[in-house]
Amino acid sequence: MTLHITWVDWLVIGIYFAFVLGIGFYLRRFTRTGEDFFIAGRRNSAWVAGLAFLSANMGALELLGMTGNTYEYGMFVAHFYWIGAIPAMLFLAVYMMPFYYSSKIHSVPGYLKLRFDEKTRVLNAIAFGVMTLLVSGINLYAMALVLRTFLGWNWDACMWISAGTVAVYVTLGGLLSAIFTEIVQFFLIWFGLFLVSVLGIIEIGGWQEVFNRLPDSMGALWSTSTDPANNGMQVTWLGVALGLGFVLSFGYWTTDFLVVQRAFSSRDLRSARMTPIIASFFKMALPFIVVIAGLVAWVLARDPGTGFSLLVEDGSVRYDSALPMLIQRYYPTGLMGLGVTALLAGFMAGQAGNISAFNTVWTYDIYRAVIRKKASDAHYVRMGRAATVAGILLSVVTAYWAKSFPSIMDYMQAIFSWVNAPLFATMLLGMFFARITSAGAFWGLIAGMVSSFSLFLAVKFGWISANLITLSENASPMAANFWRAWWAWLICFTVTILISAFTKPRPKAQLAGLVKGLTPVPRDEKLRFYQRPGAMALAALAVFVILNLIFW
């Protein structure tokens, strides 16, 4: 089913595409050096970096994926925004950012080189590069899904138009271009999509009526988590806390260069620390757009009188079509164009974030570290632009793989469990314990990634039951992702400690600025309350606790 949008809607969409392409051409003049192209010259304020930090995460995963997952799993999806994000974002700000920012690195693998050695850095860079291309494919697929839903174009045309637009403005302006458009996209997403939830609530008869029409398994956060059979995700509170709240959350928000790179662009350490804290307040508000929209879609789809349904492709329901179908239902001429533009903005924000992170890691942590160690700064900028184009082309390939999954969120969390989960164990041990050695970090990281991917293949091909991983009789794909992430983290953590116990650590003098206890702690006493990272982190934590109690 497609919608016949009017010339007014086309005008809104066309203006947006022209605007972001114009930004790329305009900012090209400001991206002459590697510092400009890869980390935006380190001159952004905390607010600019904070909004870009969250906007880079507000791609297909946040919009189509989370709304579709809410349709599938219910209120439990809010865990991804609250326990699955806020504690980790605050931990990054308060404890980890001083190590990252003070070392003047261009990327997270760059920290691994300084703390451990070159081989650990390259291992992580390769793993991150592959993961980024897979996630980038999700964004392209989601953009293509929107174009197909609203315009009826074929998949191939949708994929290439989406890819081409992102390639142009990131290639021209690098991270500076990506961040600038992410700020614009941040506001477009809020203003363009918030009405979906509001109009849905009004049609159903109010906030409380939405929850009254949901089954018990879909309307709560924690009260149904003691027994996996009582909630749509089929996972217990322990799986949520260990797999999502600890490993996947901390693994993503503290080590994924896609988001951390935005904090690196800040003008000073305080701004870098405030970046994830500012983003955390907006992150906690996002469920009121995507989760509520998913619940509205679920209620409407089960009311025969509404005529509402999701897209069906090749005989299977596309959960990820929930948000576009709601936009079709509620938005009139003109506003429809804004809604489609907001969706495309979200996907382009995520895509630009992935590609700008990929070109940095490829150029600095693979190409310069292994292939060409001594070249001019201008040469590395040219390589970064070439990597952007290559990354986009490879993303088109992975987009077709993403299309084969009923829910992009299940696919997304599987990818994070392969790379981010074990990496978090490595980073945690490296930053807080000087005794951890290079050999321990390298082999521990390999053990964690191999074990996670092996468990994924074993379950996918039926070699073992998912129940063996989740330690329960019920196991949804998402529950398996949570528990697989936990086992990967635990294996990496254990192997790293064991090997470090039998190998020689680096002298502490070489770890200054890289390990807690050997790094100066920033002091904020002279700043006002709202300028202190520690104080604002406590405020965000209080809001987090209140939200969990309200929706218990």
N-to-C CA span, the chain: 38
Q: How far is CA 444 from CA 94, 120, 492, 504, in A?
A: 26, 10, 5, 15
Please report, rounded to a whole number, the percentage of residues in the chain having pLDDT higher than 90. 9
Length of the chain: 552
- Closest to 324 in 3D by CA, of 349, 350, 347: 347
SS3 12: helix
Q: Which residue has the higher pLDDT, 472 or 405?
A: 472
User: 305 lies in a domain?
Assistant: yes
> 229 near 474, Cβ under 8 Å?
yes
At residue 195, the pLDDT reads 83
Cα angle vertex 115, ends 112, 120, to 5°?
Answer: 40
Domain assignment present for 284: yes
Highest mean pLDDT among 206-215, 257-266, 402-411: 206-215
Distances (CA, A) of 412 to 313, 478, 509: 20, 10, 40
Closest C-alpha to 83, from 249, 259, 260, 291: 249
Q: What is the mean pLDDT of residues 367-382?
A: 80
Q: Dihedrals φ, ψ of 172, to 5°?
A: -75, -50
- pLDDT value of position 174: 53
Q: Is there a domain that residue 308 lies in?
A: yes
Three-state secondary structure call for residue 304 = coil
Residues 6-36 pLDDT 10s: 777 778 777 877 776 676 666 665 555 545 4
Given a cut of 50, whether residue 68 has pLDDT beyond it is yes
3-class secondary structure, 266: strand
Q: Which two tokens stand for residue 402?
A: 């993403």
In a domain, 54, yes or no: yes
What pLDDT, on a 0 to 100 scale, did the predictor assign at position 28?
Answer: 61
CATH number at residue 518: 1.20.1730.10
- Asked if residue 214 lies in contact with residue 74, where contact means CB atoms within 8 angstroms, the answer is yes
Nearest one of 259, 234, 284, 292 to 482, comparing CA atoms? 234
- Ramachandran sector of residue 513 (left: φ over 0; alpha: ψ -120 to 50; beta: rest): left
- What is the rounded distance in angstroms from the CA atom of residue 111 to the CA atom of residue 124? 11
Q: What average pLDDT does the chain have? A: 78
Per residue in 39-51, pLDDT tens?
444 566 677 777 7
Tell me whether residue 226 is in a domain: yes
Which one of 321-335, 381-395, 449-463 scores highest in mean pLDDT? 449-463
Q: Token match 């999954």: residue?
A: 405
Residue type, 10: W
pLDDT at 128: 81
pLDDT at 490: 93
The DSSP annotation for 211-238 comes to HHTS-GGGS-SSTT-SSGGGSTT---HH
Say what the pLDDT of residue 56 is. 66
Q: How many CB atoms lie within 10 A of CB 103?
A: 15
CA dist 22 and 483 (Å) reads 45
Q: Which H/E stretch holds residue 159? A: helix 155-204
Q: How confident is the model at residue 437 (pLDDT cuts 50, 70, 90)?
A: very high
pLDDT in tens, 273-300: 888 898 889 889 888 888 888 899 888 8
Whether 255 and 423 have beta carbons less than 8 Å apart is answered as yes
pLDDT digits (tens, 9 = 90+) for 375-423: 777 787 788 778 888 888 888 888 777 766 656 666 777 777 888 888 8
* CA-based R_g, the chain, Å: 22
Among 47-56, 132-141, 501-510, name the one with the lowest average pLDDT: 47-56
Residue 1 domain-assigned (yes or no): no
**pLDDT score of 315:** 66
DSSP 76: G
Give a yes or no: residue 317 inside a domain: yes
3-class SS of residue 529? helix
Domain, as residue range, for 272: 7-550
Range with the largest mean pLDDT of 235-244, 294-303, 362-371, 392-401? 294-303
Query: Which whole number is the average pLDDT over 165-174?
Result: 62
Condensed to tens digits (0 to 9), the pLDDT of residues 116-148 reads 888 888 888 888 888 888 877 777 777 777 777
At residue 316, the 3 state secondary structure works out as strand
Structural domain total, the chain: 1
Q: What angle do CA 50, 343, 187 make, to 5 degrees?
A: 35
Which whole number is the average pLDDT over 431-452?
92
- Banded model confidence at residue 253, pLDDT cuts 50, 70, 90: confident
Q: Is 351 within the bounds of a domain? A: yes
**Res 175 pLDDT > 60:** no
**What is the rounded distance in angstroms from the CA atom of residue 467 to the CA atom of residue 238?**
15
Position 152 pLDDT exceeds 80: no
Mean pLDDT of the 324-344 span: 78
Q: CA 281, CA 118: separation in Å to the nearest integer?
A: 37
